[in-house]
Amino acid sequence: MTTTLREPNSIESLLGKEAEDLLTYKAKVSQDLIHLPGPDFVERIWLNSDRNPQVLRNIHLLYSSGRLANTGYLSILPVDQGIEHSAGASFAPNPIYFDPENIVKLAIAADCNAVATTLGTLGIVSRKYAHKIPFIAKINHNELLTFPNQFDQVLFADVEQAWNLGAAAVGATIYFGSEHSTRQIQEISKAFKRAHELGLATILWCYLRNNAFKQDKDYHLAADLTGQANHLGVTIEADIIKQKLPENNNGYGAIAKATGKSYGKTDERIYTELTTDHPIDLTRYQVLNCYSGRVGLINSGGATGKNDFAEAIRTAVINKRAGGSGLISGRKTFQRPFEEGVKLFHTIQDVYLSPDVTIA
């Protein structure tokens, strides 16, 4: 059943001056080249893969839960910020979330497809909630207690622990481009192999991390670099890719120019034939690198700001129209009063349920 917007024109009003452009833009790369989300997504895409029946069941569980059930779209609450950004910095704005149960309660109240968080958070409440909402156990993290701060994703848990607490999937982050990325790729490739053996789905946070990527712009958000990170992620058999929304392009060229050194491999046609500066085209390039949409791309909601509802709607519209598979929204939702967090999730979900927001 399709759910219509509860408030007429709410998407348009939140998009403001960008509404017409974002809602009517025709993408440079045709949607005919993309495997689009839909009610039959799991059967259409995954049935002939090497994923075993247990993995297929858990992928289907993720796509068939919550308010977006059986649409081909995902709305996920991720809360690993207690480690990534420190518990104090993350939860001081709303101290109820020092209690892990409230994290799971928010995901359930917001009708999310799943909740993604730490081994400890899920483990302390697993008997009460593992059968009520799909769990995604995040198995590696970057900790910020070491002085001086260092940026490295290290394993905090193993796949067997995720399986034992009843998780449907494991999640992990790789800092592509960092000095530690080779080790992280090897660790997470091995972990994802084990997860599939045990029947768990896999979700990869494909983030970039290198000081050289910050030049005249922050090329951690470049479509060409994030697209390649996505392609590396699907290569180690991530079933879902999480990526930041792109804001610029030609990171390869900018970094080579700034450093005076050759960097990576690229092709001018990426910038002339496959993309423009439009955010929908930049995001479609990310989708292309997820095996043309065979592996779902979910974009992150970003940090809390002054215009969270408008920013979240904008991200959701861009992701959906580009051919992406949903949004994963953390700080914008849990760093505000509980009911407001639920409302924000429902507002995001309205985009994916609206027949008026079409594929570009």
As annotated, the active-site residues are 242
- In what helix (H) or strand (E) does residue 135 lie, and over which residues does it extend? strand 135-138
Asked whether 336 and 308 are in contact (CB, 8 A), the reply is yes
Rounded distance between C-alpha atoms, residue 325 and residue 160, angstroms: 28
Residue 248 DSSP symbol: B
Rounded distance between C-alpha atoms, residue 51 and residue 295, angstroms: 13
- The C-alpha R_g of the chain, in whole angstroms, comes to 19
Name the phi and psi angles at 17, rounded to 5.
Answer: -65, -20
The structure tokens listed for 133 are: 């909402």
Neighbour-count burial for 94-117, b at 16+ CB within 10 Å, e otherwise? beebeebebbbbbbeebbbbbbbb
Rounded distance between C-alpha atoms, residue 293 and residue 324, angstroms: 7
